[in-house]
Amino acid sequence: MLSYLLLALLVLTIAAYYAGLAKARAFAAATGHHKSHHSLAGYHGAFVAAWAGIPSFLLVVLWLLFQGPVVDQLLIVSLPVERLQDLDAGQLNLLVSEIKSVAKGNIFGTPDEVVLAAAERYNSWNGIASWAMVASALSLTVVALFVARSMLAPRFRARNHVESITTVLMITCSLIAILTTVGIVTSLLYETMRFFSMVSPLEFFFGLNWEPQIAMRSDQVTAGGAFGAIPVYVGTLLIAVIAMLVATPIGLYSAIYLTEYASDGLRAVVKPLLEILAGIPTVVYGFFAVLTVAPAMREFGELLGFSIAPNSALAAGGVMGIMLIPFISSLSDDALNAVPQSLRDGSYGLGATKGETITRVLLPAALPGIMGGILLAVSRAIGETMIVVMAAGIIAALTLNPFEPVTTVTVQIVTLLIGDTEFDNPKTLAAFALGLVLFIATLVLNVIALTIVRRYREQYD
Amino acid sequence: MQQLPIGATKMLSTVKPLLAETAAETKITARGVSVFYGEKQALFDVDVDIPKNSVMAFIGPSGCGKSTFLRCINRMNDTIPIARTEGTITIDGRDIDDPELDVVELRARVGMVFQKPNPFPKSIYENVAYGPRIHGLANSKSELDGIVENSLRRAGLMKEVHDRMNEPGTGLSGGQQQRLCIARAIATSPDVMLMDEPCSALDPIATARVEELIDELRESLTIIIVTHSMQQAARVSQRTAFFHLGKLVEESETTTMFRNPSDQRTQDYITGRFG
């Protein structure tokens, strides 16, 4: 029904556009010369269409938001008082859910009279509400169409009205993006606060022991649970550093080669090939790390006589570094290409070689862009999940040895939340605290990266 | 005689007698220079002698090959992959394509100033010190300081920048930037200076400063300037070469060129009939 309603609104909106257009053309034809009109006919049409479509669409959205809670309240009020006695909030919720599932036709066992009657009421109220929504939305559209159309006149400033409506629409779109971010951060903050009410922040931020297993039932025998996150962060940093040690030189040198040395034909082939790397799903990188790189490293280590763990930080970090190469090479390539040709000419004209020109003029000039690319890659590295879930360890060992397995923030969040979880114990809530710290870290890195890029960007032309 | 462009006649009256220059020795000799960009030939068989310690102006309509020829003299066309040069150019009798002569060495001796001021995004000091550093011309910091200060002084910029040597060169005004680029080119102590429309991005006052500077630098340098402004050619140069459709049409003393051109095309161009 909702889709038919939206379709009808769309049709009416289009009709409104043509109604406005027709009226504007009519008075244009009546006066003869278009100079006496303020706006083009299309703006008159758009003005009527906007007023016909937008308010009723908003009405439908609001209606859908509030219909559920309002009907629920009516339902609860309509239940017999004796049935509501002795019910706490949880049991009441259970009762309402039961009524709703009966109303949908999912009947388990034999529901009692009260529930059946309530389900019937629930269905009929929902039906009434839906029809009321259709009726009010359609009538609002039609009324708005005629009111807006009656406002049209040769000197009516339709263009200005349409432009301000467009502005409001654009502001709304950006607000939706911003508000979503705010919502995500708020929910993270809220759950983190709950975590810190159970586990001391001191332990979380400075503890050296991460063993988040806790007893789920009273008869279970496990460790008491330790939430010192330092080993997790050290592991994350270790893998990120290894990844950057792989990605930065390879990415930067390939960018320099592509912009300064490669012929146009070679560049046309190599650059897309390099960017294919960016299109490989991270889970495929994970396979590569687990099945190819890690065993190869282990065998190589055995050859040299020392042991490398099968899920070593080196394998995970190395493969993550390969994933980040196109990131760095593509951003550095853009930065180097943005350096104007006149600077290259100036340097060559003074007798500088290609190498001198690159190290003394091009790289310093492109440095902000390159730094920005590197920092963005770092924030990708610490937030990357799939490769480390597959290739890194789960046990949080506090070590800087790249041959040992380490775990990362993202791996821990995944393991904490896998399986049946209740969000009322520190084990699962710890995931939110880890997530919040991760979010803040990547946010800070991104802000620094963007500030560097903005502040030090040379203003050419 | 055809009417000269407005201003040019007045300018010519201020040009000093040039008897001394005409007898001067030749600095640069070009014989049969042709340039191809891919299949397209941009320059056809140019022969010209450029006298020492004078200013020669290259004039001609856009795309006539004057900048292309200028870029041959310090082999800047080498940086364009599709460009191919034929013929010989000698400086002081030495072939610039001589395999013994490194292009780095050549460009240190033949400075170049470009159409748009292109200071590096470095400090004023570092801009000027760039050439001496890459060619290892200074053995100590104080020696480098001396070269930088001397170059800035010769470019007439020292007074304006002496108290802000460490500020970025890109922060200067357009005219100052162009003089900074001239100082940067002087710093490798070249004996030839190529200028590719050095004033086309500058206002009239900055242009006048650069033209004065060119006249001063002529004492010690051989200068070749490409210009679109015939008045400028008349003001700064002793000899002028007119290029048209990739060919060198006419080359003579500037006064002769503007008062009494021998080729009809030159006459048409300088009287504003085309170009």
Q: What is the ipTM of this complex?
A: 0.85
Q: Please compute the mean of the pLDDT values over residues A401-417 and round it to a whole number.
A: 88
CATH of A226-456, one of 2.130.10.30, 3.40.50.300, 3.60.15.10, 1.10.3720.10: 1.10.3720.10
Q: Give the closest-approach CA distance of B131 to chain A in angstroms.
A: 6
Instruction: Give the A-side interface with B, CB within 8 Å.
Output: 263-264, 340, 342-353, 356, 360-361, 364-365, 458-459
CA B128 – CA B182 distance, rounded (Å): 9
Q: Which of A264, A345, A351 lies closest to B108 in CB terms? A: A351
How far is residue B271's CA from residue A357's CA, in Å, rounded to a whole number?
A: 43
Higher pLDDT residue, B15 or B193? B193
* Closest in B104, B108, B114 to A346, CB measured: B114
Highest mean pLDDT among A150-154, A356-360, A402-406: A356-360
Would you call B107 and A458 a contact, using CB atoms and an 8 Å cutoff? no
pTM higher than 0.80 for the full model? no
CB count within 10 Å of CB A139 equals: 11
CB of B222 closer than 8 Å to CB of B193: yes
Q: What is the number of other CB atoms lying within 10 angstroms of the CB of residue A80?
A: 11
Instruction: Give Cα B70 to chain centroid, integer Å.
Output: 8
d(CA A242, CA A75): 60
Confidence of residue A30 (pLDDT cuts 50, 70, 90): confident
Q: Do strands B83-91 and B94-95 pair parallel, antiparallel, or not at all (unpaired)?
A: antiparallel
Q: What percent of chain A has pLDDT over 90?
A: 41
* Cβ <8 Å between A364 and B122: yes
B121, B135, B184: residue with CB nearest A364: B121
pLDDT digits (tens, 9 = 90+) for B81-99: 889 999 999 999 889 988 8
Do B130 and A347 lie within an 8 Å CB cutoff? yes
In DSSP terms, which residues pair with B239 in a beta bridge? B56, B253
CB contact under 8 A, B118 and A343: yes
Give the tokens for residue B137.
């011309």
Check: CB of residue A189 under 8 Å from CB of residue A182.
Answer: no
- Cα B108 vs. chain centroid, distance in angstroms? 14
Least confident of A149-163, A217-231, B170-184: A217-231
Looking at mean pLDDT, say which of A188-197, A211-220, A444-453 comes out highest: A188-197
* Interchain proximity B76–A458, CB inside 8 Å: no
Q: Inter-chain contact A346–B188, Cβ cutoff 8 Å?
A: no
Phi, psi (5° rounding) for residue B62?
-60, 140
Give DSSP secondary structure letters for A359-418.
Answer: IIIIHHHHHHHHHHHHHHHHHHHHH--HHHHHHS-SS------TTS----HHHHHHHHHS
- Give contacts of A364 with chain B, Cβ < 8 Å: 120-122
Residue ranges of the domains in chain A? 2-156, 226-456
Query: What average pLDDT does the segment B254-274 reach?
Result: 87
The dihedral region occupied by B101, where left means phi > 0, alpha psi between -120 and 50, and beta the remainder, is beta
- B97 min Cα distance to partner chain A (Å): 15
Q: How far apart are CA A75 and CA B57, in angstroms?
A: 95
For A359, the closest chain B residue by CA position comes to: B134
- For residue B147, the chain A residues in CB contact (below 8 A) are none
Question: Please, which pLDDT band fits residue B23 given cuts at 50, 70 and 90?
Answer: low
Number of other residues whose CB lies within 10 A of the CB of residue A60: 19
Estimate the crossing angle of helix A89-104 against helix A41-78, to 10 degrees. Answer: 110
Which range in A242-246, A307-311, B10-14 is most confidently predicted, on average pLDDT? A242-246
Could you tell me which chain B residue has the CA closest to the CA of A361?
B120
b vs e for B29-39, b when ≥16 Cβ sit within 10 Å of the residue's Cβ? bbeebbbeeee
Interface test with B, best of A341, A345, A350 (most B CBs within 10 A): A350
pLDDT given for residue A252 in this prediction: 95
Q: Which of A206-210, A307-311, B15-19, B237-241 has the highest mean pLDDT?
A: B237-241
Q: In terms of C-beta density within 10 A (0-12 exposed, 13-18 middle, 19 or more buried), how is residue A7 classed?
A: exposed
CB A39 within 8 A of CB A156: yes
What pLDDT score was predicted for residue A420? 67
- Least confident range of A415-424, B60-69, B229-238: A415-424
φ, ψ of residue B44 in degrees (nearest 5): -115, 105
Distance between CA atoms of A120 and A75, rounded to whole angstroms?
A: 10
Contact present, A12 and A144 (Cβ < 8 Å) = no
Strand order in the sheet with B55-59: B110-113, B192-196, B222-226, B55-59, B239-244, B247-253
> For residue B184, what is the nearest residue in chain A, using CA coordinates?
A350
CATH number of B8-270: 3.40.50.300
Across the interface, whether the CB atoms of B134 and A356 are under 8 A apart is answered yes
Burial class (CB in 10 A: 0-12, 13-18, 19+), A456: middle
Nearest-Cα residue of chain A relative to residue B121: A365
Q: Please name the residues in contact with B232: beta carbons below 8 A apart, sequence gap of 6 or more.
A: B57, B199, B207, B211, B225
Backbone φ/ψ region at A199: left (φ over 0), alpha (ψ -120 to 50), beta: beta
Over the Cα atoms of chain B, what is R_g? Answer: 19
CB contact under 8 A, A345 and B104: no
Q: Mapping DSSP to helix (H, G, I), strand (E, B) and coil, where does residue B196 land? A: strand
Neighbours of B177 (CB within 10 A): 23
- Cβ–Cβ gap A351/B106 under 8 Å: yes
- Which residue of chain B comes nearest to A365, CA vs CA? B121
CA distance A23 to A44: 8
Question: How far away is chain A from the Cα of B132, in angstroms, using its nearest Cα?
Answer: 9
Measured in angstroms, the CA of B118 and the nearest CA of chain A are apart by: 6
> For an interface test with A, which of B126, B130, B189, B224 has the most A Cβ atoms less than 10 Å from its Cβ?
B130
- Which residue from A340, A349, A365 is facing B107, i.e. has the nearest CB? A349
Question: How far is B159 from chain A, CA to nearest CA, in Å?
Answer: 24
B112-136 burial, b for 16+ CB within 10 Å, e for fewer?
bbbbbbbbbbbbbbbbbbbbbbbbe
What confidence score (pLDDT) does residue B201 get? 84
Q: Please tell me the distance from the alpha carbon of residue B199 to that of residue B210, in angstroms, as a whole number.
A: 7
d(CA A274, CA A254) in angstroms, rounded, equals: 9
Shortest CB distance from A352 goes to which of B106, B134, B170?
A: B134
The percent of residues in chain B predicted with pLDDT above 90, rounded, is 58
**Do A350 and B130 lie within an 8 Å CB cutoff?**
yes
Residue with tokens 């006298």: B51
* Alpha-carbon span A434 to A428, nearest angstrom: 10
Q: How do residues A323-347 score in pLDDT, each as one tens digit?
A: 999 989 988 998 899 889 999 999 9
> What is the residue type of B234?
A
- Residue A263: its chain B contacts at CB < 8 A? 81
Q: A343 vs B120: CB contact, 8 Å cut-off?
A: yes
Q: Which residue has the tokens 């990708």?
A: A380
User: SS3 letters for A204-239?
Assistant: HHHCCCEECCCCCCCCCCCCCCEECCHHHHHHHHHH
The amino acid at A337: N
Cβ contacts of B148 on chain A, cutoff 8 Å: none
pLDDT at B15 over 70: no
Per the CB < 8 A criterion, the answer to whether B124 and B164 are in contact is yes
Q: How far does A356 lie from chain B, in Å, by closest CA?
A: 7
Q: Distance (Å, rounded) from C-alpha A272 to C-alpha A264?
A: 13
In this complex, do B130 and A340 lie within 8 Å of one another by their Cβ atoms? Answer: no
Comparing C-alpha atoms, which of A363, A361, A360, A285 is closest to residue A325? A285
Q: Which tokens hold the place of A327? A: 């990131």
Please report, in angstroms and rounded to a whole number, the separation of the first and last CA atoms in chain A: 57
At CB < 8 Å, which residues of chain B contact A?
74, 76, 79, 81, 103-108, 111-112, 114, 116, 118-122, 130-131, 134-135, 170, 181, 184-185, 188
Contact by Cβ (8 Å): A29, A57:
no
Give the per-residue pLDDT at A26: 86
Quote the longest CA-to-CA distance of chain B.
59
Number of H helices, E strands in chain B: 12, 10
Q: Tens digits of per-residue pLDDT, B143-194?
A: 999 999 999 998 889 999 999 999 999 889 988 999 999 999 999 999 999 9
Q: Is A360 in contact with B134 (Cβ distance < 8 A)?
A: yes
Angle, helices A426-456 vs A158-198, to 10°: value is: 130
Q: Which position has the token pair 């909702």?
A: A2
